[in-house]
Structure 1
Amino acid sequence: MAEKITVKGEKREVTGKNVNRRLRVEGKIPLIVYGGGVEPTSVSADLRELAAILRTTTGVNTVFSLDVAGATDDVIFQDRQIDAVTGRLVHADLRRFSKGEKIEMTVPIHLIGEPEALKEEGAVLSQAMREIKVLCEPAKTPDSIDVDISSLTSEHSIHVSDLKFGEGIEIHDDPETVVASIVIVSEEVLEPQIEVGAEPEVAGEDPNIEEDG
């Protein structure tokens, strides 16, 4: 297991838009830390360190340590605000948790394998779920749920109940929810096309009679 990342934070005694603007100029961003049975805490931390965490393979699911004046807590991103123009992180909420505590996490679902059924005429793979919420200890959150669809046929579907999870992970979705399936798309019957340049006939009109004029 990779060594846990530690981010240094500073408690913010004064808050507000002007203060937050100055923090961003200094390369820091405002944070609010929730959870742990204590009141929310306003802190600031280095933007580069937090952005580096978001770029890791685990991204927002990364558990890291926040050190504020020597007091260290395990935290995880709960929410974040990204500047629409620059794409930079400008604010984040962190969730503080105690050892053994389970919280809801979002995990992507990856389909692997190539079903033979996709070679059938009109066969199309449909992935109805691309991520799933799990309840677990953040440190035990899987990077993804890999689903082998090699044996999937058009007569069957993969449901939530078919997914494989590690020990200590709870799923609250309906077990019968469809994750992936192969559907057969039939060709649509096209309406007869009128020849380009030809005028449509009007019912009751004799096409051999020329119009006076």
Structure 2
Amino acid sequence: MRKDITVAADVRTSRGKNEARRTRSGGMIPAVVYGAYKEPISIAVDPREIRKIVRSSTGFNTIFNLQINGGESTPVMVVDEQIDPLKGTVLHADFKRIDLSKRLRVSVPVHTTGEAKGVKVQGGLLEIVSRSIEIECLPDDIPESYVVDVGELMIGQSKRAADVSLAGSAKLVSAPDTVIAHVVALRAEAEPTPAEGAAAPEAAPTAAEPEVIKKGKKDEEPAAEDKGKKK
């Protein structure tokens, strides 16, 4: 998307790590602009301006004007930025010149709107599968984003890239059957089996058998002696 933004840039006459450090210490960052069948130019720009553009709603799809001090003024896009992993600051940026009369490919965000009937009525779950699609269009026709309505989706139904309404010179590059969002059924929890759940109940203990005591011959001898005395 083209915006009325102008970023000033100074030409860098020397390169190398030492020169890059001096550029950053002066509040600028090293950068390069190329494309449109012209020679690349090493420049220095304000990193705050670049961060503001990249973090805007149009992000890397923002087309703005780059005004090089003592040189050309041309529409460009940020195609790459190098970030300090510790400080989160911009260390370097790449710009591409844009020919406003030629088509280009860009990735555009896709948002969803509405509450799917498959969620509200059937208790399903809405899953977002793809958050962007790739299109080809003229620079002035780059949209900020696309929106698809998922309100009528039932379980098993989906919205695909082919369902996105394109306007102007935009042409779909992504596969038409690319799923943007769909409604799926929630999985029911299976009943635990004896092996997975609680152990099988223990059998009730059986009554203990009574202990049997056998009488030996020694137990019979006293009885025999008593019988003899009676005689």
- The one-letter code sitting in structure 1 at the alignment partner of 2:47 is L
Query: Is 2:30 aligned against 1:26?
Result: no
Q: Corresponding residue for 1:130?
A: 131
User: CA RMSD, aligned part only?
Assistant: 2.4
Please give the per-residue CA displacement for 1:9-47, whole angstroms capped at 9, x wherever unaligned: 111121111111111111111111121101222111112
Query: Is 2:36 aligned against 1:65?
Result: no
Q: Corresponding residue for 1:84?
A: 85
**Local SS of the residue matching 2:187:** coil
- CA distance in 1 between counterparts of 2:118 and 2:79 reads 41
Report the CA distance between 1:98 and its aligned residue. Answer: 1.4
Q: Is the 2:76–2:97 contact (alpha carbons within 8 Å) kept by the matching residues of 1?
A: yes
- CA distance in 1 between counterparts of 2:180 and 2:130 reads 5
- CA distance in 2 between counterparts of 1:61 and 1:104 reads 10
Q: Is the 2:2–2:63 contact (alpha carbons within 8 Å) kept by the matching residues of 1?
A: no
Query: Is 2:155 aligned against 1:154?
Result: yes
Q: Corresponding residue for 2:165?
A: 164
Report the CA distance between 1:83 and its aligned residue. Answer: 1.1
Q: Is the 1:122–1:186 contact (alpha carbons within 8 Å) kept by the matching residues of 2?
A: no
**Aligned sequence identity (%):** 34
Note closer, same or farther for the CA distance 1:133–1:3 as it changes in structure 2 (3 Å cut): closer
| Structure with the greater alpha carbon radius of gyration | 2
**Local SS of the residue matching 2:19:** helix
- The one-letter code sitting in structure 2 at the alignment partner of 1:14 is S
Q: Corresponding residue for 1:178?
A: 179
**Local SS of the residue matching 1:77:** strand
- The one-letter code sitting in structure 2 at the alignment partner of 1:145 is Y
Note closer, same or farther for the CA distance 1:3–1:123 as it changes in structure 2 (3 Å cut): closer
Of 114-123 and 164-173, more deviation after overlay is shown by 114-123
- CA distance in 1 between counterparts of 2:200 and 2:9 reads 77
Query: Is 2:21 aligned against 1:46?
Result: no
- CA distance in 1 between counterparts of 2:121 and 2:151 reads 14
Aligned length: 203
Note closer, same or farther for the CA distance 1:23–1:200 as it changes in structure 2 (3 Å cut): farther
Note closer, same or farther for the CA distance 1:45–1:200 as it changes in structure 2 (3 Å cut): farther
Report the CA distance between 1:75 and its aligned residue. Answer: 0.1
- The one-letter code sitting in structure 2 at the alignment partner of 1:15 is R
- The one-letter code sitting in structure 2 at the alignment partner of 1:40 is P
- CA distance in 2 between counterparts of 1:185 and 1:155 reads 11
**Local SS of the residue matching 1:15:** coil
Note closer, same or farther for the CA distance 1:188–1:182 as it changes in structure 2 (3 Å cut): same
- The one-letter code sitting in structure 1 at the alignment partner of 2:12 is R
Note closer, same or farther for the CA distance 1:104–1:207 as it changes in structure 2 (3 Å cut): farther
What are structure 2's unaligned runs of at least 5 residues?
207-231
Q: Is the 1:194–1:200 contact (alpha carbons within 8 Å) kept by the matching residues of 2?
A: no
- CA distance in 2 between counterparts of 1:51 and 1:137 reads 25
Of 46-55 and 69-78, more deviation after overlay is shown by 46-55
Note closer, same or farther for the CA distance 1:93–1:199 as it changes in structure 2 (3 Å cut): same
Q: Which has the higher helix share?
A: 2
- The one-letter code sitting in structure 2 at the alignment partner of 1:52 is K
Q: Is the 1:128–1:179 contact (alpha carbons within 8 Å) kept by the matching residues of 2?
A: yes
- CA distance in 2 between counterparts of 1:53 and 1:71 reads 20
Q: Is the 2:67–2:74 contact (alpha carbons within 8 Å) kept by the matching residues of 1?
A: yes
